[in-house]
Amino acid sequence: MQTPPRPTVVGGVRLAAVVVTMGTRPRELAALLESLATQTTPPSRIVVVGQGARLSILPPGVEGIELPANVGLPAGRNVGLARLRTHGDIDVVMYLDDDGLLPDPDTADKVRSAFLADPALGIISFRIADESGVTQRRHVPRLSARNPLRASRVTTFLGGGNAVRMTVADQTGDWPDVFFWAHEETDVAWRALDAGWRIDYRPDILLQHPRTSPDRHPLYYRMNARNRVWLARRHLPAVLVPIYVGVWVLVTLVRRPPVAGLRAWIGGFVEGCRSPCGPRRPIRWRTVWTMTRLGRPPIV
């Protein structure tokens, strides 16, 4: 195993980055790693996790982990997180999509400064924008998405570009392996909020990402439905479970997915109701009220 570099401490915050890849975007991954290396103060450690794929030659100082199979995005992040924990020298972890890019060389310093300034800050959600600077509505983690340049406290965050205080994971648990992909960020967010942590959407901290459609993945509809149900079963007070699930049934029907997508969604919904989803730990009603005050009660 490659010996990790000595951690760089800036403002008392030791920063790392974890990137999970299936090995299908070597050019984009190389560009992302270059943008990390050219930060004004680069992260102390960078871990790349290969999901069932051989990693190409990584830059000096970047730690690579090759898994024999694709275990899912949350589990892959947990593998990277476990590697960082082996030395116990990191305070904040950035999780970045392998086809993302950090165009601002001060991104890492902005992240460090934010966590240093606010001890109650648990998670930062970056702004995601395409090559032309446009942020899609689905990439603004709040219901009011008209102005993606407005910073705010939020109740969830974007998985493709974020930073999480290590204490949050130590206190509330790792990424939910069972989800495989989709809504794992909301699962983490609800646990963090229930533990009293803040989540901030910071549009000045930018991850550049190619413009995509959420249904580009074949498993999108099934995973979306199954994991929505699992979120409710795992974390909501009993009285809110049918309301949350019912609202998302209506939202899905209003969006009128294609017939094949609707069939996959129904299959995922049934799977979500019948299959094990991990331990149930309902959030407190105080957390429900906090989320409601922030503009997104946990029913939508």
Structure confidence by residue, pLDDT tens digits, 27-45: 999 999 999 999 999 999 9
Burial (CB count within 10 angstroms: exposed 0-12, middle 13-18, buried 19+), residue 28:
middle
Summarize the confidence of residues 145-159 as an average pLDDT: 96
User: And the tokens for 278?
Assistant: 């991990």
Which tens digit of pLDDT belongs to each residue from 166-218?
999 999 999 999 999 999 999 999 999 999 999 999 999 999 999 877 665 55
**Do residues 234 and 206 share a domain?**
no
Quote the pLDDT of residue 215.
63
Contact 192, 122 (CB under 8 A): yes
**Do residues 138 and 170 share a domain?**
yes
Last residue of a domain, one of 212, 233, 257: 212
Structural domain tally of the chain?
Answer: 2
Which tens digit of pLDDT belongs to each residue from 222-260?
999 999 999 999 999 999 999 999 999 999 999 888 888
CATH number for the domain harbouring residue 192:
3.90.550.60
Which tens digit of pLDDT belongs to each residue from 77-109?
999 999 999 988 899 999 999 999 999 999 999
Q: What does the alpha-carbon distance between residue 66 and residue 237 come to, in Å, rounded to a whole number?
A: 39
**Do residues 139 and 258 share a domain?**
no
Q: What does the alpha-carbon distance between residue 173 and residue 163 come to, in Å, rounded to a whole number?
A: 15
Last residue of a domain, one of 177, 212, 247: 212
**Do residues 272 and 286 share a domain?**
yes
Contact 3, 59 (CB under 8 A): no
Evaluate if residue 115 carries a pLDDT over 90.
Answer: yes
Give me the chain's average pLDDT, please: 94
Asked if residue 204 belongs to a domain, the reply is: yes
Domain containing 280: what range? 216-293
Torsion over CA of 99, 184, 268 and 223, rounded to 10 degrees? 0
